[in-house]
Structure 1
Amino acid sequence: MASFTLVDVAVVKGRETEFADRSKTNFLASRKEAGNLRFDVLQSRDDPAKFVLVEIYGSPDDVKAHKETVHYLEWREGVADMMATPRKGVQCTCHFPSEPSALLGFWNTEPCGWLPGAMDLTLETASSCSWHLSRCQLCKLGNKSIRYSPLPYIVAVFNCSLWVYYCVITMETTNQDLTPNGLINAAGALLEICYVLVFIRYSRERASVIYQALVAIGLFWTCILFFEVVLPLLPDWNKHWDFHWGGADVPLKSSLCGVVTDVLNVALYGSPLVVMGTVIRTRSVKYMPLPLSVFTCLQSLLWFVQGSLLGNVTVWLPNALGIILGAVQLIIYAMFCRSTPEARDVENSLTLSPSCVSTQPLAAASA
């Protein structure tokens, strides 16, 4: 994580020529680049690690191509709320959906039309770390998450945990070795729990996130209670219902659990396709990250091979569907990747409002 300290200085009035004069005393004017953005910076001559990010020019293509999208509008609204009640040490972050590289932050000294003018704010620290890992970014804006639902992550915790349970009960009653499946899904469950905790930490609707998490926990333990307590009390089911999902030697409990995990797994594999309408309408694939689609195909292919070697339909069937869903995502990406607006096409004259900018990426994976 890169960490930078913004020095305590008064707001510099005017444009670039005026703060170039100021830089002759304590600061050195320079221009830095971070991802698709360019920053005009006043860097301390005494301590190079301290600088004031003065103005930002250009922005990711989201702003030009989709100025009226809810992401941009909520970002403006959030910054306006922050500026309405300035306080020392205020930090906020900005949502740039298509920006996978690290951003620093900026200090804007020029009044904007939708704000009452540049305000005397002291931003004491700014840190950013952006790493595009997988299907979704969770960004915080003024200590709130922006229209990202925690539900996919909560469902992923449910799915991975149920896979661990399935592997344990199946290995207890059969000779199938599902140790890799269990270990990988255990790691995935821990990772997804971390993501849910991030949602809880930064969401203003914290109670709603906690409620959804508690519902998922309740559903998980309801399933466990059914498989471990209720199902054994129904001997006729085991006697008369010849249902062996996952292999001829797989008992009913494992078979039913496998069906539930398969449904959840297919839903998670196909989750990037929920933005297909947006991709087709905007002719832009920035909301459909390529790494996720590639690894969906690759992961599905590997698990499909493993499931086929084991002869376990619970493993190979959802991953066969995952290969198809991943291929559909890659086809859609290939169709619209060339029509996605480039960052260089963005108007360089656009100046945004004061804030510290950082993006916090999150990844969600299921085996």
Structure 2
Amino acid sequence: PTMWRIFKNKSVEEFKFHPIVAGIINCFMWVFYSMPFVHPHSILVTTINSVGLVMYICYNIVYLRYANNQKRKSMFMYYLAEVVFLAALISITLLAFHTHTSRSTFVGIFCDVFGIILYGAPLTVMYKVIKTKSVEFMPLTLSLAGLSNGVIWSAYAFIRFDPYILIGNGVGAILAVAQLILYACYYGSTPKEGKPVKDPVKPTAPQVQMTVSAV
């Protein structure tokens, strides 16, 4: 819904790019983790994160198309950092570690780090939510999907007894709950379509007509 709104309005508005940039490296990390030479017998992890990687690439293309130059530069700096990091990680994994256990441990730790970053990425808009008392730019669907994803993959991790999948997704589920609590707190004060809203920081400022639809 967020990407469709950006495409329809031809503007990224106040939506943050951090979740979709984090999504690329997170999915790539889990695909690498699930490779037979790192952590064998992880076909489900491979398939879902491969699909996720393609989707996040598409999301980034849409966002880049309608972002201003400043945001594009910031995104490309993140991309460069991700490429350098992934190249170093892959090289170290293949050259320094020679067993499935050691490779799984090394890559799994980084997967947890970036998985938690992805789950927490929507919280980058938390300050704006609190300041404006509006959740318009914190998509509910993203938080709900994060919670569902975290719970389901945590259950999968218990069945397979995979501590790395469990830690990353368990913490992710907790972060998603925090997002939903924030959403519930400020949903009532979020401006509805077509209704004027006063700036909460400057009560005397002129009212602004909100014409964009909610996600």
State the TM-score, normalizing by the size of structure 1. 0.47
Select the structure of larger CA radius of gyration: 1
Structure 1 residue 200: Cα displacement: 4.5
- What letter corresponds to residue 298 of structure 1 in structure 2? S
Q: Give the 3 Å change call, closer, same or farther, for CA 259–337 of structure 1 in structure 2.
A: same
* CA gap 1:252/1:185 in 2 versus in 1, 3 angstroms: same
1:227 to 93, 97, 104: 93
Show the counterpart of 2:29: 162
Residue 217 of structure 1: aligned partner: 83
Where do 5+ consecutive residues of structure 2 fail to align?
A: 198-206
CA contact (8 A) 1:155 1:216 kept: no
The aligned length equals 200
Question: What pairs with 1:34-49 in structure 2 (closer than 5 Å)?
Answer: none
What is the match of residue 42 of structure 2?
A: 178
Per-residue CA deviation, residues 158-207 of structure 1 (Å, 9 max, x unaligned), is 221111110113443xxxx3211111111111122223333444455356
Q: Which amino acid in structure 2 is aligned with residue 217 of structure 1? A: V
Helix, strand or coil for the counterpart of 2:137? coil
The whole-number CA distance in structure 2 between the counterparts of 1:278 and 1:156 is: 21
| Structure 1 residue 196 corresponds to structure 2 residue 78 | no
Unpaired runs of 5+ in structure 1?
A: 1-130, 233-237, 239-249, 353-357, 362-367
CA shift, 1:208, in A, is 5.7
Whole-Å Cα distance in 1 between the matches of residues 14 and 186 of structure 2? 24
Q: Give the counterpart of 2:144 among 280, 289, 294.
A: 294
Q: Does 1:253 align with 2:103?
A: yes
Spell out, residue by residue over 1:80-132, the C-alpha distance to the aligned partner (whole angstroms, 9 max, x if none). Answer: xxxxxxxxxxxxxxxxxxxxxxxxxxxxxxxxxxxxxxxxxxxxxxxxxxx44
Q: Give runs of aligned pairs for residues 1-367 of structure 1, distance below 5 A.
A: 131-132=1-2, 137=6, 140=10, 150-168=17-35, 169-172=37-40, 177-203=41-67, 205=69, 209-232=75-98, 251-346=101-196
Change in CA separation of 1:137 and 1:181 when aligned onto 2, cut-off 3 Å? farther
Q: Does the 8 Å CA contact 1:199/1:209 hold for their aligned counterparts?
A: no
- Amino acid across the alignment from 1:161: F
Higher-helix-fraction structure: 2
Deviation at 1:137, TM superposition (A): 4.6
Change (3 A) 1:207 1:288: closer
Judged with a 3 Å threshold, the aligned counterparts in structure 2 of structure 1 residues 331 and 256 are, in CA distance, closer, same or farther, namely: same
Output the TM-score relative to the length of structure 2.
0.77
Aligned partners of 2:42, 2:175: CA distance in 1, in Å? 24
Amino acid aligned to 1:263: V
Which letter maps to 1:167?
Answer: S
- 8 A Cα contact 1:303 1:315, kept in partner: yes
Across the aligned residues of Structure 1 and Structure 2, the Cα RMSD in angstroms comes to 3.2
User: Displacement of 1:321 after TM fit?
Assistant: 1.0
Q: What is the alpha-carbon distance in structure 1 between the residues aligned to residue 121 and residue 18 of structure 2?
A: 11
Cα distance in structure 2, aligned partners of 1:298 and 1:149: 22
Instruction: Note closer, same or farther for the CA distance 1:275–1:160 as it changes in structure 2 (3 Å cut).
Output: same
Does structure 2 conserve the Cα–Cα contact (< 8 Å) formed by 1:167 and 1:181? yes
